Structure 1
Amino acid sequence: MTFPLFRAILPFALATTLPPMLTSCGSAPDTGSNQAAAAPAEPISDGTVKLTPQQIQAAGILLVRPTVGGGAGAIELPATIEGDPQGIQIVSAAIGGRVVALSRNLGETVRRGDTLAIIESREAAQLKGEIEASRARAGLAQSQLRREQRLFAERVSPEQDLIAAQTAATEANIALRQAQQQLSAAGGGGGSLNRLALPSPISGQIIARSATLGQTVVADAELYRVANLSTVSLSLSLSPADAGLVRPGAPVSVTTPGRQGSARVTFVSPVLDAQTRLVPVIATMDNRSGQWRVGESINAAIALPGRSGGQGIAVPQIAVQSIAGKTVVFVRTANGFKAVPVKVGAPSGDRVTILSGLTGNEQVAATNSFTLKAELGKGAGEEEE
């Protein structure tokens, strides 16, 4: 019975509530649109998108700094510190046995060749026994060779006996060297006939020790891990477009709360990563002070080469978006991003000049900035509902 009355009231309610709602959502009358476009930067209704650093990384949003003057700015992105592949070595025995001595603990500094552990093994005894037997055979063969040389010189023995003695001595020496190399491949000496010493392959610091005194270990089991981290690497991933702007030797600024450093790009891969479809980039950083640790996440800023004759402020064209009839860029804030209105000038290559709205000190979203526009639009749609 009340349905006709509801239909009569509904148009009046929409007429009184819809204009304020449109105003709160950032809509403006058509008559003022030209004035808004011509005016300097002015705030858009809220215009903020809240994102955590993890969400920014997951969305693939690349942060860059605007070009100031003739420079080309920098590409800012998260990175991970990795050890030099030549600077981390595993110490293991090629044969199994029982650990009877451990001479180094975690954190201790070692030099190349220092003995780290000694194991007892029947195989070690066999290898050393073979060396002793080969050495004895080699000595006997050398003695026979000297005898035949003397007899041949006195014209007592024929030449064929001398040749046979020379051959036997050569074969005995080869067998001795082979036995010695087998022991060396297993880890080296160790004093007693059945003991094997394991030396450090590099100079550095003990970063892992998995062996226990008295433990029986199998062949190739890891006993120690030695690292020389005086130089570390940064593992970065760039889009193909951004990687095209980076060259080996480019400086990289490294920052993390309370610390900062510098690195140099040493490798830009010519092949995309099969999983991420991004370009792997490696930078090398001095770490003789020991302040950077493998596996640590840091922020890296790759400086781009400058362009001669450039003036003012410029950003990549992909950083510029259009929202509610206004040209904006998304500036990084403490909690995410904020759409900042800007006035743009003529484009130059892949960049566009910013006439007003930015100071040049901001971080702006470049690659995948359209996702922020979509997120902002979704928020506006929810408000309208």
Structure 2
Amino acid sequence: MTSRMLLSALFPLALTACGKSENNADDMTGMDMPKVAGKAADKDAVVLSAQQITDAGIELALPNVGGIAGAIELPGVVQGDPQGVQVVSATIGGRLVSLTRNLGQTVRQGDPLAIIESREAASLKAEVEAARARADLGQSNLRREQRLFAERVSPEQDLVAARTAATEAGIALRLAEQQLGATGGGGGAMNRIAMRSPISGQIIARPALLGQTVDTNAELYRVANLRRVTVQVSLSPADAGRVRPGMRVEVSAAGRRQDGRVTFVSPVLDDNTRLVLLIATLNNTGGLWRVGEPVTAAIMLPATGDRSVTVPSTAVQSVEKTTVVFVRTRSGFRAVPVTTGRRNGDQVTITSGLNGAERVATTNSFTLKAELGKGGEMDMG
């Protein structure tokens, strides 16, 4: 077949292929195409990273399972989390030559808060330097004896003695360093020791004064991490028998209200009051509560046999005439349609849509509602 005949045969096929390509393109205009990577393919989903959730101030909580039979309402006092309040005390006696933080300032774990000038500090640091010198000398002698023994100049007993001396010098150095480390170490000059913060938090007390001479164990600062606080309540033995750890506690004071959880119910009575101590824990990331503040704590007693699911009213949103709750997923949140029942204070009963095991958005859930209209991906820029 000549080249001209071959071109004549292929030309109609090319026209047919072009026609099919154009028709296919027209047919696909009405199809739902997948969204660009990074966008939410589900119209009910909001794509958010963990950092974006934190930056948006969205808080999560598990729904309450079980109806409320009643509440025990009692006065309480806000206290710092026992694990979140630490005292910075003087590890050696001496004179305070520097105090680096004032009340209210934030600190990080390991930050130097005070410097003490002391003869004891000078002795400890000198002992470390002397022990280090002895350790270096022991290692030098050991290397020399190893070389002499290898050359058959020195007997084995000299090598053993050198190895023993080097080991003992190393042990003495580690002991001296640990003794210095127990005081805090650092401080710059030979006779100075730095007192460091044991935790990250905020300075809530500073009884020390610059230039003051302090004894060992004298309190210099008090540091508190108040991201979590506790509420202490005293219960009668009869009421304490109806309360269990994990129950919801509604804490209120001066126009503020927040839910917490019972974390401890004392198994013994107070010797003086003959009452039972109850401790509830609150999330205080926003600094809503102050230590020592009087509050009212309502302990919610669940109804026997009731498995109804309730969520805070702030978790319930309306999207296109549908009532939804935003449930946490691996990639963000999903708007789950729910049916609501009665309200009890700031709690809403969910009659269908949730089983109680989901983590739902409570605080600032309205921002997720707004994001659904933007394609489901939050722009934090």
Q: 1:95 to 1:230 in 2, by over 3 A?
A: same
From 110, 117, 122, the equivalent of 1:120 is: 117
Which residue of structure 1 aligns with residue 70 of structure 2? 73
Which residue of structure 1 aligns with residue 47 of structure 2? none
Alpha carbons 1:109, 1:205 under 8 Å: kept: yes
| TM-score normalized with structure 1 length | 0.60
Which residue of structure 2 aligns with residue 296 of structure 1? 293
Letter in 1 for 2:169: A
Which residue of structure 2 aligns with residue 198 of structure 1? 195
2:80 counterpart of 1:83: yes
Which residue of structure 1 aligns with residue 249 of structure 2? 252
Q: 1:141 to 1:73 in 2, by over 3 A?
A: same
From 224, 242, 250, the equivalent of 2:239 is: 242
CA–CA distance in 1 between the matches of 2:107 and 2:242?
42
Q: CA RMSD in A?
A: 2.0
Q: What do the CA deviations read for 1:304-360 (whole angstroms, capped 9, x no partner)?
A: 1212379xxxxxxxxxxxxxxxxxxxxxxxxxxxxxxxxxxxxxxxxxxxxxxxxx9
| TM-score normalized with structure 2 length | 0.61
Q: What do the CA deviations read for 1:195-244 (whole angstroms, capped 9, x no partner)?
A: 11111111011111122222222222111111111111111121222112
CA–CA distance in 2 between the matches of 1:135 and 1:158?
27
Alpha carbons 1:106, 1:207 under 8 Å: kept: yes
Which residue of structure 1 aligns with residue 328 of structure 2? none
Letter in 2 for 1:240: P
Alpha carbons 2:67, 2:302 under 8 Å: kept: no
Which residue of structure 2 aligns with residue 148 of structure 1? 145
CA–CA distance in 2 between the matches of 1:100 and 1:246?
52
CA–CA distance in 1 between the matches of 2:157 and 2:67?
85
Q: 1:217 to 1:301 in 2, by over 3 A?
A: same
Which residue of structure 2 aligns with residue 25 of structure 1? none
2:100 counterpart of 1:103: yes
Letter in 2 for 1:266: T
Task: Say which SS state the counterpart of residue 252 (structure 1) adopts.
Answer: strand
CA–CA distance in 1 between the matches of 2:283 and 2:144?
62
Q: What do the CA deviations read for 1:42-96 (whole angstroms, capped 9, x no partner)?
A: xxxxxxxxxxxxxxxxxxxxxxxxxxx9631111111111111221111122211
After TM superposition, the structure 1 stretch with the greater mean CA deviation from structure 2, 70-79 or 124-133, is 70-79
After TM superposition, the structure 1 stretch with the greater mean CA deviation from structure 2, 164-173 or 268-277, is 268-277
Q: What do the CA deviations read for 1:269-298 (whole angstroms, capped 9, x no partner)?
A: 222222222221111111111121111111
CA–CA distance in 2 between the matches of 1:308 and 1:222?
52
Task: Say which SS state the counterpart of residue 132 (structure 2) adopts.
Answer: helix
Bigger Rg, structure 1 or 2: 1
Q: What do the CA deviations read for 1:110-146 (whole angstroms, capped 9, x no partner)?
A: 1011111112111111111101000000100111111
Which residue of structure 2 aligns with residue 366 of structure 1? none
CA–CA distance in 2 between the matches of 1:257 and 1:127?
53
Letter in 1 for 2:104: G
Which residue of structure 2 aligns with residue 134 of structure 1? 131
The alignment-based identity, stated in percent, is 69
Equivalent positions of 1:341-360 (< 5 A) are none
Task: Say which SS state the counterpart of residue 269 (structure 1) adopts.
Answer: strand
Which residue of structure 2 aligns with residue 212 of structure 1? 209
2:205 counterpart of 1:228: no
Structure 2, unpaired ranges of 5+: 1-65, 308-343, 346-381
Which residue of structure 2 aligns with residue 28 of structure 1? none
2:174 counterpart of 1:186: no
CA–CA distance in 1 between the matches of 2:252 and 2:226?
19
Letter in 2 for 1:303: M
Count of matched residue pairs: 244
CA–CA distance in 2 between the matches of 1:116 and 1:104?
6
Which residue of structure 1 aligns with residue 316 of structure 2? none
CA–CA distance in 2 between the matches of 1:70 and 1:143?
77
Runs (4 or more) in structure 1 with deviation over 4 Å come to: none
CA–CA distance in 1 between the matches of 2:259 and 2:283?
8
Alpha carbons 1:183, 1:189 under 8 Å: kept: no
Which residue of structure 2 aligns with residue 24 of structure 1? none
Task: Say which SS state the counterpart of residue 73 (structure 1) adopts.
Answer: strand
CA–CA distance in 1 between the matches of 2:67 and 2:190?
72
2:166 counterpart of 1:169: yes
Which residue of structure 2 aligns with residue 314 of structure 1? none
Letter in 2 for 1:102: L
CA–CA distance in 2 between the matches of 1:236 and 1:188?
42
Letter in 2 for 1:225: R
Task: Say which SS state the counterpart of residue 303 (structure 1) adopts.
Answer: strand
CA–CA distance in 1 between the matches of 2:90 and 2:220?
8
Letter in 2 for 1:113: G
CA–CA distance in 2 between the matches of 1:95 and 1:226?
19
CA–CA distance in 2 between the matches of 1:275 and 1:71?
32
CA–CA distance in 1 between the matches of 2:68 and 2:81?
32
Structure 1, unpaired ranges of 5+: 1-68, 311-359, 362-385
